[in-house]
Amino acid sequence: MLVKARSTAERVAIVLRARILSLKEGTHMGPEASIAAEVGVSLPTLRQASRMLEYEGLLTIKPGKGGGYFTSRPAIDTVTKSASQFLSSSGSYTNAAFMDVADPLVINALKAAVKCKDERLINELRLFSLGKHESGDNNHLPHEYGFKVSTDLMVLIARMSDNVLLELFLGILWNQVNLSRFTGTFEGNREIMVSNQASRISFAKAILSKDEDKAISAWKKRSKLIRSWPERGFEFLG
């Protein structure tokens, strides 16, 4: 198999990437001309490399006096949405296949989330348990609404776990939920809408109880409910 050789710009990006990751976010690396001279490449080549790093969220370029290259870090939302877009473009998945991957991640997040002591996050979860994110007229809500509420809840639980890996992976999965699109609304399927919301609220309350077994039991019931939904038009309700 023929292995494509890296371009000069790609090799420069590797060098700069390693340097960026060794520095604190927001560190001024210097003006463009100085960096090009230091690395030993032309300005056009450096600019090709810098565009790669900008796309990765690792570099910010500021023009003018006092400007230059500054180290940056990719936002987790950007990473999860990009990965979710890939999943969405890769074809559909059954509810069961989705939940087989999600279940162990959620359970691990739950075990940590019930021990969360961050009052700001706990109060945010309390809003979910009180149904503050729900609406009284759900029959006429667009299908994206249910996806967004569920995504927000799962991302919050991941944040409560204080585990960046769980936050990343659950964010990817439930952003994939949010990116899925189906025609029409939930009109005519009120039973599914109601069961979805009731399950979501019960799940939030179980986490607030700080009882690990209760929280896991609530999730298993929710997982079973999601797996039972019709595949057509209701994939990934979450």
Per-residue model confidence as pLDDT tens for the chain (238 residues): 454 557 899 999 999 999 999 999 999 999 999 999 999 999 999 999 999 999 889 999 998 888 899 999 988 888 888 888 887 777 667 778 889 999 999 999 999 999 999 999 999 999 999 887 665 444 455 555 666 788 889 999 999 999 999 999 998 888 876 665 433 334 446 677 778 888 999 999 999 999 999 999 999 999 998 888 776 544 444 4
Delimit the domains of the chain by residue range: 8-71, 76-228
Q: Are 210 and 115 in contact (CB under 8 A)?
A: yes
List the structure tokens of 46: 């450096």
Nearest-angstrom CA–CA distance, 88 and 83: 9
CATH 1.10.510.10, applies to 8-71: no
- CATH number attached to the domain at 76-228: 1.20.120.530
Residue 83 buriedness (CB in 10 A; 0-12 / 13-18 / 19+): middle
Number of other CB atoms surrounding residue 110 within 10 Å: 23
